[in-house]
Structure 1
Amino acid sequence: MKKIGKVAVFGSGVMGASIAAHITNAGIPVILLDIVPEGAEDRNILAKTAIKKLLKSDPEAFMHPSNAALITPANIEDDMHRLAECDWILEAIIEDIKLKRRLYKQIQLARKPGSIVSSNTSTIPLGDLVKGMPKKFSQDFLITHFFNPPRYLRLFEMVAGPDTKSDALEMIRSFADRKLGKSVVNCHDTPGFIGNRIGIFWLQCAVAKALDDGVPIEAADAALSRPCGIPKTGVFGLLDMVGLDLMPRILSSMKESLPPDDPFHSVNRDFPLLDKMIADGYTGRKGKGGFYRLKPDTDKKIKEAINLTTGDYAKAQKPKLESVQLARKKGLKAFIGHPDQAGQYAGWVLLRVLAYAASLVPEIADDILSVDEAMRQGYNWKYGPFELIDQLGTGWFRERLQAEGIDVPPLIQTAGNRSFYRTHRGQRQYLDLTGDYRDFQRPDGILLLADIKHASKPVARNMSANLWDIGDGVLCLEFTSKMNSLNPFTLSMIRKAIKLCQRRYRALVIYNEGSNFSVGANVGLLLGAMKIRAWFAVRYLIKQGQETFDALKHAPFPVVGAPSGMALGGGCEILLHCDAIQAHAETYSGLVETGIGVIPGWGGCKEMLFRWSQDRTKPRGPMPPVINSFEMIATAKVAKSAAQAQEMLILRDGDGITMNRDRLLADAKARALAMVDDYRPPEPANIYLPGETARAALEMAVEGFKRMGLVTAHDSVVAKHLGITLSGGDTDHLKPVSGNRLLELERDQFVSLARMPASQDRVSHILKTGRPLRN
């Protein structure tokens, strides 16, 4: 199959530019084209300005700033001939069908034969877009709908026309999956496709009901968020993030394109308050604020929320809702059955949204899998609509719909009292449109621990970790504690994994499917020991971690770390002790212990020193490893992608990056198996460090930063202890320092810092607030 080597993107607005940025994250060059503004001296000014904005965007559009160099700014008057270089031409201009058709005619004249053309539209049917175009254009045309921000939201809705060639579809599907890390969902050519068809209805239901019943937006967002498996932004927070000025255009398009009997029309109405907010510049986070804002005319960050009835702002409240508390203990059904305002509000909205989603299959998609995937990946719902119905029970759900006078969709009638998903003889299955169960069929190269869990039992487990046999003689270590924090139970399971691998397995992969690989050691345990002054326990825990990670590093079999999300502190340290890392592109890693007043204590200092000393692309000698390690650890620097982790040497040459999260475990397993033959564990090594000379230089630099107000008093104390460790303690550049000596220095300095009240204050503060204390 032909590969995509260069892409053209038309439209340098927020969406087009962000799509271009994400394509460069895959290492693919992009030509970014826009119009020439009237009277412009620089004819490429729109594209150039867009690239500059991308480099300042938050969240970051580029996985590494250097990717910006892969975008070539251009314009549609001078550079159409450059389309002949491109394998994929993507249109992301405004939703004006006349402008799009005019552009397609220009593209058809300039593109090379066989190049693929697609639109990022989410509101205009494909049939309307290609009307009047030659068949050879229609054969290469499809809709490829990204969700914003394209780097972070995985949903990629793909719509084919009756003429679209199968090889064009497969080419884009493969590229989006493997290179862009997308979850590709096939949609029917219907208004809003899947994600926005359901998502817009959900938002409208929530806003309309809150207005009708006078539900405060803080209570509405508390209800329609985590209790339902929806991100904590809820509804009004999400609208602020998307941009309030975007909503009228989307709603207008849906109003025009949906059939008259669609339930959307019952909740679509004019909101005078919303119109006034937009007119006053309250367009959400990109404006002066939206439903939420920071109180103006004050230096303090005071969050305010709007009153939907009066339009006035007041300090945002954190409502204490009995139903929300109940949801954590007894689940979704108990939550929406609770009589308080939040429970009744969430129930009213959810019943209608879930019924709507069920009524749209097979209109918008061939199966329930596509619908659930679209809402999980496009709106970050933890559960798709049919998974939520299963939590409620299909029979109970049907009876509630009938009781409230809501039409029961045929698919709910077909299900009867059966669940939409089940596990049968170790195989995950879903209910199809005929009422039969079908097996999940994963694409080649996708291996999910969730599937393995349905088909087998763990090899070993305790309260913080599991071991799974993932086939071909490979064992998988999974963390299971809250936020996958590391504790003595985790260390115990690592030691068990080492013993089991030595006897029965060929390799070990460290992986989990949580939101984060690991946020680090459980600092609650550390604080408990601090409070009772159990310094022997602190030293013992540090030594246990060091010995466990060192045993992992020198085990007689390959160990591959496969992180995704945050890998911080101890979570980063365990990766540093693996033979290889196969990281998801969205891995955020770093040694952040200085933020709680200590230093890395499980070998992080040692491993970073060795990494910087062994890197042949960096300056040689005893000082550079110390300076580079010190800068990274003292500032608690975190790589905001796997690409940035390479620059920090958390990932080394030969470590891999997987763009698609669903392919991470299979890639890590393949890497581990490739290392099995002739594997030899690393030999213990020594390093030459400058000792007191480096320590004095580091302390002088820190004192300078302290006088300038760049570091706090305790920052400088922590930095001093870090400097002792990284410089090698009592040594000089002629004496070899062993890894064991560095571990001893780590322990001593860690315990010394842990005894200080200022460090104890930092640990206590971060546990209470989630934010570091600057003392």
Structure 2
Amino acid sequence: MEIKSAAVIGAGVMGSGIAAHIANAGIPVFLLDIVPQAVKDNGGDRSVVAKSAVDKLLKTEPAAFMHKDAARLVTPGNTEDDLEKLKDVDWIIEAVIENKDIKHALYRRVDAVRKPGSVVSSNTSTIPLEILLEGASDQFAADFMITHFFNPPRYMRLLEIVAGPKTRKDAVETIRQVCDVRLGKGVVACKDTPGFIANRIGTYWFQVAVNAADDLGLTVEETDLITGKPMGLPKTGTFGLLDLVGIDLGPHIAKSLLSTLPAQDDYRRVYRDNPLQTKMIAEGYTGRKGKGGFYRQTKTPDGARVRETIDLKTGAYRPTVKADLASARERGLKALVTHSDKGGQYAWKVLSQALAYAASLVPEIADTILDVDAAMRLGYNWKQGPFEMIDALGTAWFAEKLEAEGLPVPALVKLAAGRPFYKVENGRLHYLTTQGEYAVVERGEGVLLLSDVKRASKPVAKTASAALWDIGDGVLCLEFTGKMNALDDQVMALYRKAIDIIGDGASGAYKALVIHNEGDNFSVGANLGLALFALNIALWPQIEQATSEGQQTYKALKYAPFPVVGAPAGMALGGGCEILLHCDAVQAHAESYIGLVEVGVGLVPGWGGCKEMLYRHTYNKKRPGGPMPAIAKAFEMISTAKVAKSAFEAKEMLILRPTDGITMNRDRLLADAKAKALELAKDYKAPEPLEIRLPGPGARVALDMAVEGFHGQGKATDHDVVVSGELAWVLSGGETDITTVLTEDDLLDLEREAFMRLVRTPGTIDRIDHMLSTGKPLRN
């Protein structure tokens, strides 16, 4: 069975978000909701609820659609006039209110019109499948399952699937495959238990974290400091995350869990009514979607914005203060929980309960520890899952510590008997099963992870900031390894070494290169810390040499006698974007955010970015004739530091070519890039150098006038004018005229000259310093 069309019933936040993401995958989808009573009584658009939801999605930030054109695949309707349209739909998703009677009534109506064999699933997060199927026919039960998305559906990778004893295995496999490959989800099989995996553990985690903060007298800021980076959790911490997801959601989930959990479940012990949160909800302080939450933004009488934090004891707001606990500066989970200050005590109080609870639930909620760890990483953005965290503490130490404090030791921890839950043997990752034996972690077909390659081999070559790995079939992978995957001379050195190792791509052991890593971001560009150091001591010859070496290295990769494929995910900014512009092809993860952002630090792209964007727009068959439209487009993009918000937007901006590929599931990115490299390697020929004619000073004057206009309106700062002037000089061709043919080296010379003039200006040095200090651009 193939999913060619879908429908989502329920146009609330989750339902509309699911519909948007299905459209992101290129699948046409109906979005249906009720006809409001006011419309029935007074007339009007009977599909107004669904249409309003789509309109709202188009304005949502972060964007629900990967590209605005995806919205055209969503067809709004209503459940009274349009239910008949379900007769041609392959997958119907119910996302209505969490009320079993309402769901049952809807299922009966859906079952009467749907085509035989179509899959029906519920996005419920609280109602067991067994209850959802009460009164349903055997055929409906065979086609029914739970597909639990996480909010926001585009960005949260977890998809929990719950199948019943009557659910068709081929239906489950169809939905698993489409959610994995086309929607890009990490699909986890759950058992039909309350809260499934992620919310069962996550709700417990929130409860013990809030309880412990109250018991030990931590402030909101101190709590969020410890339950953020030190624990490997989202930087929002506990209270910041509650604000993000909505404080009012907690009581609903708690009520559902308490009504369905076994009598002996430990959540019943730790659950507490929270009068402060009840008061906050009643007064509209439900988090970011309300008037504020544990944090809120207010304005002083003079209009300045001030961040305030609630006092957990008094309930009154006060100015937010930066928390400072020695335990938070420790490296490693064990060092954190053994620290003597209140932060260390708090960390242990939370972890001892939450990790033990998670361990006690296997195999009740899932068959393997793999599913539990994956659910918490993908659904709650934890760096490590619970069992990986126990390994970081040491299973023997964890068990002894629990026993010493009179706390129960979970059966699975006892079964480990001091052994780790994960181990590497013969270059492969193994996990501990519920039978007490180790099994190999198997990857699905089409999944290739660099981390697996690294466990099983040594690098072909490496420098201080990069490594070269053999990923099989004659393909090498170059990985950035520096902080934030920043680029420096050590990366450039390994690029050049890779060119030497691969050679002509035909006679040696290797025939292609993929540039990829598994960091949160592909690369944020050049190492600004090194650059600022060089600027402060006026190492101008060294700076120019580094710029020139970067240009020539990227050019050498572009014209290498073998194919080079970029495989980015996350941010690819500045020099990280420029390397992609020089690749023969790019296979990008859909959530790639790519752009030339150098103006933010007072510079112009200096490693060929200006040149390549000029070429992209000049040779774009869809653009108007003459050089000026191409120059204007490149100038607009670079001068505003525009970053594509998805790989689809990057194609629209010509950062990616129409022929470049997009992979929805990040785990499949390297395999897809490798396949593209191998395809290109067949009869590969390096690209021919391009020539260009540019108008020179006349074009530069036109661009300068436009910038001066923005400056006069207050939309461009003084130093923006300086930087934009240098960019205009490069893109217009310097002192050339339209009769002169410019080579690639001519354009690189212009870039380098402009770059070197800018690095000498105080405004640029201030911008670089400010970016390193605050992580934000300086508007000077």
The TM-score normalised by the length of structure 2 is 0.98
Shift of 1:301: 2.7
Tell me which residue corresponds to 1:388: 389
| 1:316 alignment counterpart | 320
The residue number in structure 1 matching 2:192 is: 189
Give the match for residue 300 of structure 1. 304
Amino acid across the alignment from 1:436: E
Alignment match, 1:705: 710
SS at match of 1:39: helix
Query: How far apart are residue 127 of structure 1 and its match?
Result: 0.8
Q: Does 1:174 align with 2:177?
A: yes
Which of 641, 648, 657 is the equivalent residue of 2:653?
Answer: 648
Q: How many angstroms apart in 1 are the aligned matches of 2:210 and 2:323? A: 18
CA distance in 2, matches of 1:208, 1:53: 37
What pairs with 1:216-255 in structure 2 (closer than 5 Å)?
Answer: 216-255=219-258
1:295 Cα deviation (Å)? 2.4
- Partner AA of 1:222 in structure 2: L
CA displacement at 1:297 relative to structure 2: 4.5
Distance in 2, Cα, partners of 1:693 & 1:310: 66
1:760 to 747, 762, 765: 765
Within a 5 Å distance, the mapping from 1:17-28 to structure 2 comes to 17-28=16-27
Amino acid at match of 2:554: F
What is the distance in 2 between the residues matched to 1:6 and 1:286?
A: 32
Could you say which residue in structure 2 is the equivalent of 1:46? 49
Aligned counterpart, 2:87: 84
Report the Cα distance in structure 2 between the residues aligned to 1:301 and 1:116, rounded to whole angstroms. Answer: 50
Choose the corresponding residue for 1:556, options 554, 558, 561: 561
Task: State how far apart, in whole Å, the 1-side matches of 2:430 and 2:713 are.
Answer: 62
Q: Where in structure 1 are there 5+ consecutive unaligned residues?
A: none
Measured in 2, the distance between the counterparts of 1:134 and 1:261 equals 33
How many matched pairs?
Answer: 771
Specify the alignment match of 1:493 in structure 2. 494
Partners of 2:405 and 2:261 in 1: CA distance: 24
The one-letter amino acid paired with 1:660 is: N
Shift, 1:296, TM fit = 4.0
> 1:320: how far off?
1.5
Aligned match for 2:291, one of 282, 288, 306: 288
Residue 720 of structure 2: which of 715, 718, 728 is its match? 715
Q: For 1:597 and 1:39, locate their aligned partners in 2 and report how far apart those are by CA, in whole Å.
A: 55
Q: How far apart, CA to CA, are the structure 2 residues paired with 1:118 and 1:469?
A: 42
Which letter maps to 1:85? D
| CA distance in structure 1 between the aligned counterparts of 2:468 and 2:305, rounded to whole angstroms | 45
Quote how far apart the aligned CAs of 1:443 are. 0.5
Displacement of 1:206 after TM fit? 0.5
Q: Helix, strand or coil: the match of 2:243?
A: helix
What residue is the counterpart of 2:456 in the other structure?
455
Q: Distance in 1 between matches of 2:335 and 2:715?
A: 51
Verify: 1:662 aligned to 2:663, yes or no: no
Distance 1:300 1:362 in 2: 53
Secondary structure of the 1:281 match is: coil
Q: Which residue of 1 aligns with 2:752?
A: 747
**1:461-610 correspondence to structure 2 within 5 Å:** 461-502=462-503, 503-610=508-615
SS in 2 for 1:508: strand
Q: Show CA shifts across 1:396-441 (max 9, x none).
A: 0001111222211111111001000001111110010111110111
Match of 1:3 in 2: 2
For residues 703 and 178 of structure 2, the distance between their equivalents in structure 1, rounded to whole angstroms, comes to 47
- What letter matches 2:232 in structure 1? G
1:96 aligns with 2:99: yes
Deviations 1:674-709 (A, max 9, x none): 011110111221111111111011011111111111
Deviations 1:524-566 (A, max 9, x none): 1111111111211111111010010000100000000000000
Letter in 2 for 1:367: T
Q: Which residue of 2 aligns with 1:335?
A: 336
CA RMSD of aligned residues (A): 0.8
The one-letter amino acid of 2:171's match is A
Normalised by the length of structure 1, the TM-score is: 0.99
Residues 448 and 670 in structure 2, CA contact (< 8 A), matched pair in contact too: yes
Q: Distance in 1 between matches of 2:689 and 2:6?
A: 48
For residues 51 and 677 of structure 1, the distance between their equivalents in structure 2, rounded to whole angstroms, comes to: 45
Paired amino acid for 2:325: L
Which contiguous aligned blocks of 4+ residues in structure 1 show a shift greater than 3 angstroms? none
Q: Which residue of the other structure, out of 748, 753, 776, is the alignment partner of 1:771?
A: 776
Distance 1:361 1:771 in 2: 44
The match for 1:407 is 408
Q: Secondary structure at the match of 1:509?
A: strand
1:691 is matched with 696
Which amino acid is 2:313 matched to?
Answer: T
In the alignment, is the contact (CA less than 8 A) between 2:299 and 2:305 conserved in 1?
A: no
Partner AA of 1:12 in structure 2: A
Stretch moving more, 138-147 or 728-737 = 728-737
**Is 1:613 aligned to 2:618, yes or no?**
yes
Code of the aligned partner of 1:306: I
Aligned to 2:329: 325
Amino acid at match of 2:215: D
Partner secondary structure for residue 599 of structure 2: helix
Q: Which residues in structure 2 correspond to 1:423-434 (within 5 Å)?
A: 423-434=424-435
Work out the CA distance in 1 between the residues paired with 2:328 and 2:163.
Answer: 42
Q: Write the distance in 2 (CA, Å) between the matches of 1:320 and 1:389.
A: 26
Unaligned runs of 5+ in 2: none
- State the partner residue of 1:57: 60
Write the distance in 2 (CA, Å) between the matches of 1:461 and 1:351: 40
Letter matched to residue 304 of structure 1: E
Separation (CA, whole Å) in 2 of partners of 1:705 and 1:543: 33
The residue that corresponds to 2:28 in the other structure is 29
* Cα offsets for 1:495-542 (capped at 9, x unmatched): 111111115310000000000000000111111111111211111111
CA distance in 2, matches of 1:686, 1:151: 41
Partners of 2:152 and 2:13 in 1: how far apart? 9
Counterpart in 1 of 2:139? 136
Distance 1:404 1:236 in 2: 28
Distance 1:761 1:665 in 2: 39
Name the residue aligned to 1:12: 11
Question: Deviation at 1:733?
Answer: 1.9
1:113 corresponding residue in structure 2: 116
What's the offset of the Cα at 1:305?
A: 1.0
Query: 1:300: Cα distance to partner?
Result: 2.3
Q: Report the counterpart of residue 638 of structure 2 in structure 1.
A: 633
